[in-house]
Amino acid sequence: MKTDELISLLATATEPVDRHALARRLLLALLAGMLGALLMTLAIYGVRSDLAEVARTPLFWAKLALPTSLGLLALWLTQRLARPGVRGGALWGWLGLPLLLVWLGAAVSLAGAPVEARAELIFGRTWRTCALNI
């Protein structure tokens, strides 16, 4: 088959694509992924007994805000890049902003800590298992 034949074959009987088809597919994939991750997390780790108490702390919400903001920005960027001729533009920079804020918060926390406590703040007690759990 020649290139021209392939192009004419692909161009026959074309219908316009629903304008929201991409958003629906991405939303369905996102919901399925979130449900799978939630079920897997519950199966492996269970629910914390002190979750209501921990949910009152700002660190809990910061830990939730980072992946949520990265996920929403990545979804927005993916939706733009999935369309022919559309570029990511400034979204690439916005994607780095949550990471920069986390690094800034870590630097402020580290700078305010006593010198003898800094090594434990950096390494913690669970450094061997934390990366694997994440």
Provide the token pair at 17.
């694509």
Provide the token pair at 7.
């192009």
Q: Check: CB of residue 70 under 8 Å from CB of residue 95.
A: yes
pLDDT confidence of residue 122 = 85
50 CB-near residues (< 8 Å, 6+ apart): none
Average pLDDT over residues 30-40: 93
pLDDT confidence of residue 16 = 84
Question: Taking the domains of the chain in order of start, what are their residue ranges?
Answer: 19-48, 57-134
- pLDDT bin (cut points 50, 70, 90) of residue 80 is confident
Q: 30: buried, middle or exposed (CB in 10 Å: 19+, 13-18, 0-12)? A: middle
